[in-house]
Structure 1
């Protein structure tokens, strides 16, 4: 490449001066002004509106949605590299307030949509401009039809702040207050759960074992309080469902993810029928690690590690090369992202942890954040986030309403991009040790979505089933968890953590129940697309882009039917999607046979 690729992103090219940006502060002022105007409009908007008035309002709301979303995403970026700056924290709070106001505005919009007569609705849906986001509006109206009268829903939302959401906030406080004893440099100290988690990835098993047993001990001491919170959150949700007349706890989760429940159950059935291959892998992993059996704190520890370090320039070359092999469009996109400063990768102090992709719909650019340490996992992470950025790029000219995609398809492009890079690395690994390290990376990531997450989904279903009869005790919740752990690992596990439910925040989220299973849907859906891409070669990219472009306009079933010619209600699709992980396990078993 002609241009040297830097490891720092450019935020100034978006809003020059960052927190001091006059353009940024002007955007905040404009959004506040617009929100005040919306609040006045919706209060007087009644059945005497004209169709043109409503279409204008919908357009203005979409413009506000894009601008407020960009502000929020930019704040995420600004905070990620300025975690200790109080001025940035204040801006983050302002953005959060605007987001909360927008959520309230959507409720007012729902009330307007609910009041439209059937004749007027049909006429509105036939309007050329509205057809572009017809799916979104019909979806919102259907949800309103399934709920209580709008005033009652508003009461529920208001009460949830100090009830439902209050319990989630309390969970976060309790988790933040937990402390775990650890010995460091000969001295005993107490650390947070986040810090303890890092010890669980230590290459020294005695370190992992000590912190793991301390985690279980502390969780056992605090379990009663956490069980109370979980019971209250689940109980509140069940009470709301009952008031709405919903007898299916999966209804809301399936609708939010735009997928049929039967499709998900078919997927889970395929997963359950292929779970044995995971048990085989875990047993071999124990043998390779010279253990009689694995403990729960051994599961994420790789049995093979590569000492090979990759420079950031090499990482960029690998990703760009593999993306070009799929399509010129994807390759050029990645090349531009690296060269134009879209990626913050430098390993330095003052940054937050983790990785993400932020989208700026007004600027039509994305920004990617991570800390690059030279491992191949970091290369895969960049590819994953670039997949999200490419999805944003494909959607950038769509109406704001149809840029809203469900979690079940949000991981499609990212997993696809990840597969392009990881599979190529496995194929061209320079040593057997490197190959096994990469294979295990692929396996562990696959099993997370193909085994662990589906088991948690089944745990949560049983949890809700029993909660309908009344609050569960700590022992009852932990017993359910132990049963699921047994399903995950079979008899390959010697020591488990029956308090795992306490440390999985997804169970305590109030936005949506069953928050975990969409990631499995997205992962396997993407695997199915990737398998087709390998079969069809150069004729597939255009089809792939069309699927991504429509990802906010239809259900997962319709996406598969229209763009893949596949019926995902049939087990065959999901069985094929499980194959990449199964094939990787088979290769791992073959290569490690001589080592035991």
Structure 2
């Protein structure tokens, strides 16, 4: 690319002035007004008046994407202004609107529940409604599972301060964490995101000091974080109890997948834990250690001193995206050129990365901290995959843009594979290839090993929470047990407080927010295999699959677009193979170095 790219995103193109934007504050005022109007309309609409009902659905969808974009924009503002009380105030306003919309959705449920079979049939005779028929049918199916509308509204209202408020507090606590890091004889207090970057230092002593500093800070704060997690999990369990729901019901419904399918997937994963252990054993040998510590597991045994400039990262991603399809490549160029990506390494930023969807503007914004590693390149590709998925869905009705969390990870994993596999194939030396293979393996094991372990841990933590609050020590022991099952005796020092830095565990939007990453990763592997088989014929099919993610269950997507039955173990075993093959190749190539 000809000019140096800006590493900070452009939020002003969405709402000029950020938190002080007249347009932003005007939107908040208007949404509050529109919410009242829609609630009145919903209370008065006659289910037999199909024309008025469809008009209400259209208005609700417009409100949905506007309020969703507001919420996503608040996340973006907070991510780079964690200490700004003004942003926190606006975020609270957005939360109130979000809660109001959830209450409005209950009004829609009430209307749907009142419709006769004849009215329901007449509704779907309209072509404009057929585009979001799946969404309406899905809501109809959930009505009988929930409490009466008035009780569900009460839960929604109380959740602002009694549920989501705790997640907001968790984010503030994370933003306020400061980790003392010693460098060149001086100690500097860094945000958790900046401190985490030191865990990838080539110098093991730096990693060790950083890791122990993180553990010490987390240990001092563990009781507070445990209290927050107890409040979130306790509220969720209370709601489940009132509804008569089993523990995994909400997670399965949210992911549009059957529990039988997930259990089949987890069973296949469990039988392949030996692959991860053989990898970690060889890694320890290559690093000259008897056993690894937790701060070594993601550290490559073959490292490159080369740092990629941000512009170079952009060139790599754009090139590989273009190799798949012109549409995907052009999209990536636009994202870099128009400042959709926040990548600068500086204080005051949240830890981690995300892609925020802006459906009104038909854009996205990507947040991460770029340090110049190839892993950072893959992270940007991952988030751009999310953004491309958003792009495909932006022309669909709002109700048809609502995708399950699991398939939301499919496009991101696909984009990762495009960038990383090309680099592996083009490696010029064994050392370079080993390093890239290790990156693929490490990324894959997050989903094939670590996330499933977190899923099992979270289930056990919730079961224990049913009997009362769970202490920080008990939480750490539960997680430690699962980590021991994963690593065996190959790790001599675990991080007992790693649960504190997994934001998905504190999510109030979705229960068991970790397992969708595994579902999406393995599902994407199946899609990627077909892409390699079919070549130039596949991009249009890929876009069609992404477009249908708001209209089908995961099982239906696999059957319709891939011709696969994912309730059968064979699908998941096949999807595990890319990492298994990468581990085997890694073991073969590294024999010469041990």
Q: Same fold (TM over 0.5)?
A: yes
Distance 1:501 1:351 in 2: 20
Which structure 2 residues correspond to residues 175-574 of structure 1 after superposition, within 5 A? 183=182, 186=185, 196-213=195-212, 215-216=214-215, 227=226, 229-246=228-245, 248-345=246-343, 354-469=352-467, 472=470, 476-574=474-572
Matched, 1:34 2:34: yes
How far off is 1:368 after superposition?
3.4
- Which range moves more in the overlay, 519-528 or 330-339? 330-339
- Which range moves more in the overlay, 344-353 or 519-528? 344-353
Q: Write the deviation string for residues 448-490 of structure 1: whole angstroms up to 9, x where unpaired.
A: 1110000111122233334445555666544432221111112
SS class of match (2:147): coil
How far off is 1:182 after superposition?
5.8
| Correspondence for 1:581 among 565, 579, 590 | 579
Q: Which residue of 1 aligns with 2:154?
A: 155
Q: Write the deviation string for residues 146-178 of structure 1: whole angstroms up to 9, x where unpaired.
A: 011112222333444454445555655666676
SS class of match (2:357): strand
- Which range moves more in the overlay, 221-230 or 524-533? 221-230
SS class of match (1:258): coil
Distance 1:166 1:470 in 2: 21
How far off is 1:212 after superposition?
3.6
Distance 2:230 2:305 in 1: 46
**Which blocks of at least 5 consecutive residues in structure 2 are unaligned?**
none
Question: Measured at CA, do residues 351 and 120 of structure 1 come closer, stay the same or move farther in structure 2, by a change above 3 Å?
Answer: same
Question: Measured at CA, do residues 270 and 12 of structure 1 come closer, stay the same or move farther in structure 2, by a change above 3 Å?
Answer: same
Question: Contact 1:356–1:368 (CA<8 Å) still a contact in 2?
Answer: yes
Q: Which residue of 2 aligns with 1:58?
A: 57
- Which range moves more in the overlay, 88-97 or 271-280? 88-97
Question: Contact 1:47–1:115 (CA<8 Å) still a contact in 2?
Answer: no
SS class of match (2:355): strand
SS class of match (1:551): helix
Question: Measured at CA, do residues 370 and 499 of structure 1 come closer, stay the same or move farther in structure 2, by a change above 3 Å?
Answer: closer
How far off is 1:126 after superposition?
3.3
SS class of match (2:304): coil
How far off is 1:532 after superposition?
1.2
Question: Measured at CA, do residues 106 and 419 of structure 1 come closer, stay the same or move farther in structure 2, by a change above 3 Å?
Answer: same
How far off is 1:186 after superposition?
4.5
Backbone CA RMSD of aligned residues = 3.2
SS class of match (1:61): helix
Question: Measured at CA, do residues 458 and 116 of structure 1 come closer, stay the same or move farther in structure 2, by a change above 3 Å?
Answer: same
- Which range moves more in the overlay, 440-449 or 332-341? 332-341
Q: Write the deviation string for residues 294-317 of structure 1: whole angstroms up to 9, x where unpaired.
A: 112221222222122334443333
Distance 1:139 1:530 in 2: 29
Question: Contact 2:192–2:351 (CA<8 Å) still a contact in 1?
Answer: no
Q: Which residue of 2 aligns with 1:131?
A: 130
